[in-house]
Amino acid sequence: MSHLKALWTALLALLLVPGALHGQAPASTKKNNLAVSFAADLTQATGQITWVQTGSMQGCGTTLTNPDPIMFNVGAGSGAQADINQLCGQTLQSAWAVGGVFQDGQTTFPGFDAEPYSCTEATATRNVAGTASSATTVTVGTFTANPLPVTIGKDGLKDDASLASAVGVTAEAQGYLGVLQNSRVAMEALTYLACTNGASVTLDSTGLTLLAEPGQAAAFEADLNDYIGSSFAGWSVSYDGTRLTVEGIDPGLFVPIDGGYFLASDDMPGEDVTENVVGDIEIDATATALVIDFSNRMANLLPAGPGAWGGENGVAFSNGK
């Protein structure tokens, strides 16, 4: 997966031609699902919401965090809340809807209303030259358990996201879902999306859409790391308006569309991972959104596992439309 980081860095260095998607507002929204289940009743556990937002422009820079810890009972939940702020000309939002239920011997985190999962969400909109970033985190635990089966579902690699860049501007988003034992990560699901110079990326219930013209770039990466079982897998894709480059996935699954490529949700690689965890257990889930002038910007790719779910590695080919 390190190939994608090198490719993305190279693309940013080469993107000197103004793009054509001038009408899109530079913004990033990332949702992070709690696609995790525990073989125990955690509904009496305590959860905590934290968020941090940053806005900057010439002569101004401000960071804001929630003034007090937002605590909640997992069984009661903390639903449909949001904090929206204007910081140095930028618009930042942190939102969440989180709650757990115990059924059939499992604690899961179903969603509210039509949402399939509890989630955190972050949105950053860059209104003036500068930086806009937002991050929202939910933490459940810490609680002590005997050996306890825990599953991170593959849906944790398909969280919704919507990114739109502009000429000279990069939009990025990251999602993180981790299970920790004794303060060490046992399992984690990570996603990363980025676009620049007018490109866009969308991930929703239908699938992944990458749109870019020559001189632009869009990218996606997903990784599922199991440190207990020493199992690491992931895949990535990037499109620069001419070439689609993939790693860890069959390139034939990508469907050419007007302006880019589409990958159906059912074709996105991934699998559920279950391990026994023990000791002080904690769940962390964070959604992060960032929009920034990309001058000399290097994308902060997530650490990637050496494995893959299948398909060709390092394959690049052109959109023949």
What's the predicted TM-score (pTM) here?
0.85
Cα 66 to Cα 53: distance, rounded to the nearest angstrom: 9
Please give the Cα distance from 121 to 250 (Å, whole number): 30
Domain enclosing residue 92, as ranges: 2-318
Beta-carbon contacts of 196 under 8 Å, excluding residues fewer than 6 positions away, are: 11, 12, 15, 165, 169, 170, 171, 216, 217, 218, 294, 297
* Gyration radius of the chain over CA positions: 19
Walk along the chain (321 residues) in steps of 10 and give the mean pLDDT of each run: 38 32 71 92 92 94 89 89 93 94 93 82 94 93 84 91 94 94 93 94 96 95 93 92 94 96 95 92 93 61 36 35 34
pLDDT score for 3:
38
Please give the pLDDT value at position 141.
82
- List the one residue out of 115, 199, 230, 205 whose CA is nearest residue 220: 199
* Amino acid (one-letter) located at 50: T
If one counts the domains in the chain, the total is 1
Looking at residue 78, what is its pLDDT?
A: 87
Backbone angles phi, psi at 147, to 5 degrees: -45, 125
